[in-house]
Amino acid sequence: MGQKIIRFSDLTGEHVESDRDLVRVVVLQHPDLTEGPVEIDALAGELGEVRELALDLVTIELHHPDRERPQTVVMEAGAFDRLASAAPMAEVLRGARPAERAAMPGTVGPGGRERVDYASLEHAGRPHKGRTTEAEKQVVQRHLDEINERLASEGVRTIDLENVEHVTRYGLDALARETGVMLP
């Protein structure tokens, strides 16, 4: 006995004849989203007006010296551009220095959740989904004992030099060999 999967557009409830007609729509921010991004399916024809209706928006963070967390503001690009009076905004942006994301605690990611800087001593080594950056690996390599103390006090798994996954994830091969750990 076989199975047949019938798919429908989440937007209109219309039947999807072919997967080629289906567009995956990831909703990153919406006033009704409380648990982060979600995805829905829609027919390509249902999204024809999306580009025409799209707004040119700018998202900025205001880092006030007397506030602990930055204020995130989303505004129309034209309104933002009018803030620059000494030179056109495009020129101001070309001459601006790159922002240091790790140096800005409390940045907010998709879904309104605060991003965690796993390359900081405060968060390095904590289990997380995604790629372990070279910066996080270096922090773990330099401060393994201190990080393990913090993880243990938080009730989180510690980084075990006998665990091949941990050694690989944080680049601890040399340290494991130095301590006499034999890995497969």
Q: How many CA atoms lie within 13 A of 26 on its CB side?
A: 5
Mean pLDDT calculated for residue range 97-108: 57
54 to 28, 47, 59, 76: CA distances (angstroms): 15, 11, 15, 11
Residue 32 main-chain phi, psi, to 5 deg: -90, -5
User: Are both 171 and 137 inside the same structural domain?
Assistant: yes
Q: Are residues 75 and 128 in the same domain?
A: no
Residue 111: inside a domain, yes or no? no
| Domain span holding position 89 | 57-106
**Are both 121 and 184 inside the same structural domain?**
yes
Tell me if 73 is assigned to some domain.
yes
Pick from 37, 36, 35, 77: nearest CA to 55: 77
Residue 11 burial by CB count (10 A; 0-12/13-18/19+): exposed, middle or buried? middle
Residues 82, 28 share a domain: no
Reported as a pLDDT band with limits 50, 70 and 90, residue 130 is confident
C-beta separation of 147 from 125 below 8 A: yes
Nearest 5°: phi and psi at 41?
-110, 140
Same domain, 123 and 178: yes
> Which residues of 30-113 form beta strands (DSSP E)?
38-43, 57-62, 71-76
List 142's β-bridge partners, or say none.
none
Does 67 reside within a domain?
A: yes
Of 106, 138, 169, the domain-final residue: 106
Residues 183 and 132 in one domain: yes
Q: Is 102 in the same domain as 120?
A: no
pLDDT at residue 146, rounded to an integer: 93
Model pTM? Answer: 0.43
- Domain membership flag for residue 1: no
Domain stop point among 34, 52, 70: 52
pLDDT of residue 61: 87
Q: Could you tell me if residue 3 is inside a domain? A: no
177 domain-assigned: yes
The answer to whether residues 140 and 158 touch, using CB atoms and an 8 Å cutoff, is no
Whether 142 and 184 map to the same domain: the answer is: yes
Average pLDDT of 45-51?
86
Q: How far apart are CA 43 and CA 22, in angstroms?
A: 5
Does residue 96 sit in the same domain as residue 130?
no
On whether both 121 and 159 belong to a single domain, the answer is yes
Asked whether residue 139 is assigned to any structural domain, the reply reads yes
- In this predicted structure, the answer to whether residue 102 has a pLDDT above a threshold of 80 is no
- Is residue 106's pLDDT more than 60? no
31, part of any domain: yes
Q: How many domains does the chain have?
A: 3
Residue 146 sits in the same domain as residue 172: yes
Q: Are residues 179 and 136 in the same domain?
A: yes
